[in-house]
Structure 1
Amino acid sequence: MADSARMLGYSAGNLSADLMFVGEAPGRLGADQTHIPFHGDTSGQNFEDLISFAGIDRADIYVTNGVLCNPRDEKGNNSTPLPSEIANCSGYLRRQVELVQPKIVVSLGATALKALSMVQPHGLSLKEHVRTAQSWLGRMLIPLYHPGQRAMIHRSHANQRSDYQFVAETLKNLTAPRSRTGGATRQDLLAACRFMVERRSEVSYFELHKLAYLAEYVHVKRTGKRLTGAFFIRQKDGPYCVDLHIQRLKKADADFVVTSDGGRLMIRLSKSRAGTLFDDRSDVPESARQTLEEVVSRYRYPSDADLKRAVYLTAPMRMMLRKEKHDGTNLYNAPIDFLAA
């Protein structure tokens, strides 16, 4: 590597960054020429597109590599760094982590993950731990695939977009000021949820969000009006109802019993009060009850994947997917407009 540029300098980024990305090594057509990590070649273009999609500003991050010089084979092409080469640079990698003190370190590819294990053993594998936040060296470590074209064979561009969105959301949760969850769940949504949970005996927290969304969707189709005033946004796993935050839900009604089944939150009612709310309140129309009965009976799926598929086939979600595809916009956490769809 004697003729390769040493990629360690101010172009790496913000020395006070909360987020650090660690790649494999400078590319022959990229950082070895531009002297900017992940910039100038296909991998750099993909990386910059991915962080842009996730709303991550390059000025706010620090980018480096497990090996600081470009390794090449006998033909002059990029080659995978040898274990000895990774070991030779591990001291520099450790010192960069200690200098920047990021809250999250993101490894890009198996070689980067291996390089980090030489700084501090972690026992993680890319295949098993991709897009998960793991405790490492007093901070979080998130393994992702390399943004190069070869890695796209194993991890699609769409999946990688979601990976970077996960990084952005994890960072936001770490750095956002903690505050108490405001208010309880609104009463019109609460009544609808009681009705559906009572009819199903028990639903998962995942199902409750999707059923609440489908109830809004079906009701708008039938009547042209919203069922409730709840606020829904689009997330990776489909619609998420902000008003159904688990703490707000429990605060609103102690009759909701929340248990954990293998890490999966399950919700049931300690008393069957759902139907009485609709009977007792004159401001809840009969059409609302018809909508909820239809949703409970129609959307019974054996798996979360089937329910998620049904949700993504509805008009509001298809409209958002089309907009993302044609405009290249990132609509994660964007409000869902039932009436426009």
Structure 2
Amino acid sequence: MALYTKLDEKQINKITSVFDIGRVVRFRALEGGSENSNYRIETDDKAYVLTLCEAKSKETVRKLASLLTHLETNGFKSSRVLPTSNGDYLSSYRGKPILLKEFLHGEIVEDLHEETLFEIGALMAALHAVPVPEYMQNRFLYGIETLTVPDAFVDHPFAGWVADAKKTISENICDGLRRGLIHGDIFFNNVVITQDAGPIIMDFEEAGHYYLIFDLGMAIVGSCCDAGIVNRSKVNALVSGYQSISPLSPIEAAKLKPFAAYAASVTACWRFGQFHVIQPDKTKQDRYLEMKQIADTILSIPNEEFCP
């Protein structure tokens, strides 16, 4: 991913001076983040992540900071955001909102072990028990209405597939499905595997108030697939971990499969729009096909074989 804002040592120290963390002795740009510029910075005794939000408004970033502090207050461990010397959690640089978070020491693991997935499932159940903040009530970025393609591509073959997927998914949204605080994007690269605290879920930028099984479905898509193929043993581990804390109701268990397909479909739509219109990139324009294939594969699995 591109580093949108390049900073030198002098600029880094000026930006971080409002956080009272001391002098920065080392820093380096971090990869990843399609809408942010991220730096790992170190003082004499601690490491942090400095995030410059390139596309989000100050209001949106302030709500993200509020959510992270809300999670901490409710005992859910994630990225800890630091306040400035005046108690605000938001700073800015050249008009761009800035957050400073404690660095999570660990590693990103693409091929997650089943034991780890069980832990992640249990963590998700704990997250879903956290009260939804007032400012997030009934808000989520990837509702059923986002299953669409840009207007310029209405004749593209993908448009017909999306229309069919939307119809199938709409038929499976029903009463009896619990809603609550969800992460919305639990792919393997949004989980840090630490030595002392196990897996930690991070990057809550897509969080919202929505169906809990959508979150579980997205985690299946993002953490339980090997080279585009659904690994049912991994699915079983993740869902079993979740149910060890919060058992699914019969209707939720029955609808988990279409909601996992929903998660894959909405991710396919995001990738299609992102790399065809928002940030056109011919080398990535076919990335949506991976998620399309996963959605089709999920729907082909017999119901009784999908949810443990």
**TM-score, structure 2 length as denominator?**
0.27
**TM-score, structure 1 length as denominator?**
0.25
Rg larger for = 1
